Structure 1
């Protein structure tokens, strides 16, 4: 089926999707992410393939017919890489489906909104609540400082890309579209930022979220 640019099409049974999208980020953040994830994955970089990385997502020699490194979107959820326990809208791998949306978790995240907005502090507090829940429910929980900062960085990216200014937070209908329907919230009034989010801005938001989410 031919689609026009920007046309929404929900995932079909054979489509490969990732557990978290990134869009609207500055070249510095985007380049860092791409360079890191296109490395070959290794649970232990010291003994794994040369040039391997824990955060890398590719299999050894995973290239297209022209020899260019490629990824499948579902590899973003690769175990022991960037995918982690204590997701906002996905189950832990040991408890269920870590790739596809858990509708109840999404509804609970949306209920953290106040006056129709999810603010930075709300995100941090909810992430801490999720950690406390999973600590009780998942005896095989794997969640240290690395996973904490990755999870906070994901929310910081969400906040930077879809937020409506420093203090206004993200409209809950934006979040409902992004997580609930896996589409960009154009119909709800969102438009891409004129100036993209670069590291300095994203780092400040990450640190604020981390402050409220800190579980250790």
Structure 2
């Protein structure tokens, strides 16, 4: 069964196209005792569907590339922008693999960062688990909207950073800015048209760490790539004043 899955992944990646995903083929399961997860809801979601190892352990770039391509239609070089730094946090004893929990490393910051949409800052303790408080502030900043556009993203980031700088004396705004813009680039690419993300889909994904397949979502037809990410980040930055 595992051989069939890897072969299917390989065909999708080689073709450079998105696949039709179903809950039947990739059922969602919450992490069990001993399973490892990260501060990143995007890769946690892939593990919860079995696109990454469900135990969150010993992940290499090939496995990560196949999972992000199938789960989000992410092109290879964009995956490497996350995957290569993740390897530098490895505690597996093998420099070519990492556990999901490894990327919670805070000093030096590699992937985990202050000012997350869904996590508390490390200064307050747990930066790895979903934070209802952090997420609640994001929802309040967005307000009663159905679509998250560049303006809504900029408004939310501004409020989030103001809160962080006022409440966290160790707030790392420089690294937080990079991480926050990357988060939005992925959100606005994966869950909507360029610059217009569906709030319902984002809430389902973030609050459950689950692909919103049951809501009719499928990975974007156009792949998530570095060029598009930079354009989205630039548009948000222009409004973030």
TM-score range, shorter chain: 0.7 to 0.9
Q: Is the 8 A contact 1:128 1:212 kept in 2?
A: no
Q: TM-score, normalised by structure 1?
A: 0.77
Residue from 14, 27, 41 that aligns with 1:7: 27
Q: CA–CA distance in 2 between the matches of 1:109 and 1:200?
A: 26
Q: CA–CA distance in 2 between the matches of 1:96 and 1:35?
A: 26
Query: Which residues of 2 match residues 60-209 of structure 1 at below 5 A?
Result: 62-63=93-94, 69-79=96-106, 80-111=109-140, 112-144=142-174, 146-163=175-192, 165-167=193-195, 169-209=196-236
Q: CA–CA distance in 2 between the matches of 1:198 and 1:140?
A: 32
Shift, 1:141, TM fit: 1.7
Higher share of residues assigned helix: 2
Shift, 1:202, TM fit: 1.1
Q: CA–CA distance in 1 between the matches of 2:240 and 2:29?
A: 34
> Which residue of structure 1 lines up, in the alignment, with residue 89 of structure 2?
57
Q: TM-score, normalised by structure 2?
A: 0.70
- SS of 1:170 mapped into structure 2: strand
Shift, 1:4, TM fit: 5.8
Structure 1 residues 135 and 191, CA, compared in 2 at 3 Å: closer, same or farther? same
Aligned positions, number: 187
Shift, 1:172, TM fit: 1.6
- SS of 1:121 mapped into structure 2: helix
Pair 1:36 & 2:85 matched: yes
Q: Return 5+ residue gaps in structure 1 as ranges.
A: 39-55
Structure 1 residues 120 and 138, CA, compared in 2 at 3 Å: closer, same or farther? same
Q: CA–CA distance in 1 between the matches of 2:35 and 2:187?
A: 23
CA distances 1:69-111 after superposition (whole Å, capped 9, x unpaired): 2111111221122211111121111113211111133233234
Q: CA–CA distance in 1 between the matches of 2:26 and 2:235?
A: 33
RMSD of Structure 2 on Structure 1 (CA): 2.2
Q: CA–CA distance in 2 between the matches of 1:157 and 1:114?
A: 22
